[in-house]
Amino acid sequence: MLNRIDLRGQVPSPAELRAALPRAEVDVDAVLHHVRPMVEAVRERGVAAVLEFGERFDGVRPATVRVPAAELDRALAELDPAVREALEESITRARAVHADQRRTDTTTQVVPGGTVTERWVPVARVGLYAPGGLAVYPSSVVMNVVPAQTAGVASLVVCSPPQAEFGGLPHPTILAAAALLGVAEVWAVGGAQAVALLAYGGVDTDGGDLAPVDLVTGPGNIYLTAAKRLLRGLVGIDSEAGPTEIAVLADASADPVHVAADLISQAEHDPLAASVLVTTSPELADAVDVELERQVAATKHAGRVRTALGGRQSGTVLVSTVDDGLTVVDAYAAEHLEVQTERAREVAARVRAAGAIFVGPHSPVSLGDYCAGSNHVLPTGGCARHSSGLSVQTFLRGIHVVDYSEDALREVAPKVVALADAEDLPAHGQAVTARLRG
């Protein structure tokens, strides 16, 4: 079922590997001309434009953008008890992991009388996006809100598309998840218009203030990603998320039933989702193909899964050794990487580029999607080579606080003046010497 790339006996360069490996083709630039007028419309006309776009794309016009508090309470009260229990467990585990990420302020005495403090300050107001297209993701509410709350963000707003089925409200499980987390502000708005409204703010249909935010986080479709690109700078963003990815590094010890199930689990997200097997074993590759045929036929979203697995973004890469496999997965830099090999912990410790690593036969990506405690908002499209997933740090700003006495300034002043003169910026030096005359 999967396309094959045979790299056995070869040692391609990193650039050659990136060109050879399967990857989804997502051209954000190609939709910018669609999204730019939407962003401008929201900037100029505010909520009126947002509601028009909601009616066009979501098939419904909510009465207000902000979801009434009573609807949050009702969604939580009516939530299936099993789903509530699962969300509560997910929240508990995520809070435990993210609590250990909080940085403390540090002060360095550079010289007697001269200190530099790095002070960590939370972003003041954040907009968190929870998708609602092919699937609904209350888990994304957890993954966005928990690190923001742990960082100390004082003002949070969750955005999710209005649903015609629910009278213009976001999906009830989204509302319930927000209520469980103590988030009081939820907007019924999705897509590019959501990012624009978060960036510019507006006035709701009932006169309520929809205050702009400082940072927008959370995954979405290509149009939302394009809006993030256009508005970056006016607001901060976490990343430009693309279709989800899984890579599995496996040897002959891996169970093909497990490998196939894991490849399918990510393929069901999106027809553009990428599922990649990197293996030293042709026999395992053959067995996985057989399992894929069997399991895909029985899965709920078989058409979507089959499209994703058969696309150019998915495939099997054959390598000679696990070392070669590590070279391949580092070049690919998957959003999710499973290591299903002998001595999996040792192999996983050598990986240098992945959004998240799942070690051994009992750590599937699905665990991380929901209840491992890790965050599932991760870099895609090879961005794990230089970027990290969502964490407490995403919502913190480091500020250097410089505090020098007169004696400490006097001691270093000649060097400041010398560097200022070398850069032909004499006023820089004069700003120091003016304090030291007499």
Q: Which residues are catalytic?
A: 335-336
In whole angstroms, give the CA distance from residue 156 to residue 148.
8
Output the six-digit token pair for 212: 């702009």
Angle 127-189-148 (CA atoms, 0-180°, nearest 5)? 20
428 is in an annotated binding site: yes
Rg, the chain, Cα only: 25
In whole angstroms, give the CA distance from residue 376 to residue 366.
10
375 is in an annotated binding site: no
88 is in an annotated binding site: no
Three-class secondary structure of residue 390 per DSSP: coil
* Residue 119 vs residues 101, 153, 213, 236, 401: alpha-carbon distances, Å: 15, 15, 22, 19, 7
In whole angstroms, give the CA distance from residue 362 to residue 258.
9
Phi then psi dihedrals of residue 39, to 5 deg: -60, -45
* Residue 223 vs residues 26, 149, 230: alpha-carbon distances, Å: 11, 27, 11
In whole angstroms, give the CA distance from residue 57 to residue 161.
10
34 is in an annotated binding site: no
Residue-by-residue DSSP string for 50-113: HHHHHHHHHS---S-SBPPHHHHHHHHHTS-HHHHHHHHHHHHHHHHHHHTT----EEEEEETT
Three-class secondary structure of residue 246 per DSSP: strand
Binding site feature residues? 129, 193, 221, 244, 266, 269, 336, 369, 423, 428
Q: Which residues are annotated as a binding site for substrate?
A: 244, 266, 269, 336, 369, 423, 428
Please state the residue numbers annotated as binding site for NAD(+). Answer: 129, 193, 221
Going by the annotation, the residues of the binding site for Zn(2+) are 266, 269, 369, 428
